[in-house]
Structure 1
Amino acid sequence: MRAVVLAAAVLLMAGPGLAQGSGAREWRTPPPGDIQRGAALYQTRCTACHAVDSNKIGPAHRGVMGRRVGGLKGYTYSAELAQSRLRWTPQTLNAWLEDPEELVAGQRMGFQVEDAQERADLIAYLATLK
């Protein structure tokens, strides 16, 4: 019951870009991730656009877990992402990495991670960046 209430609260806070088509997005918790594999994936797949401590083409990732989506000061987000009322959680990061445009239509990230375990590994690594 608590999970249903939490999911409903997330949907109410989500705003545009979350509910698509005939139904709302299903929030899935990623499987357990491997931090070391996530760090290696981050180096090979993310660092062309992101850094841990500085903004590049994409925003810095230190402190991403729990941060408001589109809310890092000093980085210019798309209007759609800046207006989002989401927070970065394992579930929102999983949805984002799977298909950023489905999560927030109009965002600017043109990269997806199709493999669920790779998403989980990246999320496990990102959670260590406090």
Structure 2
Amino acid sequence: MAYATVEQFADHMDPEPVPANARRLLETATIRIDELLVGARYSVDDDGNPMDPVDRAIFAKAVCLQAQFMKDTGDETGANANVTSMSQGGLSVGRSSGADGRTIPRYSQDAVSYLRTRGVLPVHPYTYS
């Protein structure tokens, strides 16, 4: 289940229209945000969703930012992350090794920054002895 609803995404995208694949974008964006949250500490309900309303709002905003990023880059699956050029007629695809920094990042920098400034992203490892 996505951290944000289609209605929340519509509010975020306003005045732009919500894409037809909004629900799928939100579900995929939730998976991306969950990847970023590995190591974060927050209380969850039996379904694994954040219990704190503040956390729920933060996660919903981050998911909307990530979904917008995936919509804007046209790369919902990450398959084009290392594509540097593409042609339609005769099909020609150029891929980057990543060394030149010309790859599409997996995560929205806005979503990462938002989570970081809200204190949700683990900046330091949680250690104990």
**TM exceeding 0.5:** no
Please tell me the TM-score bracket, short chain as reference: under 0.3
- More relative contact order, 1 or 2 (CA 8 Å, 6+ apart): 1
Q: What TM-score comes out, normalization by structure 2 length?
A: 0.28
- Structure whose alpha-carbon radius of gyration is higher: 2
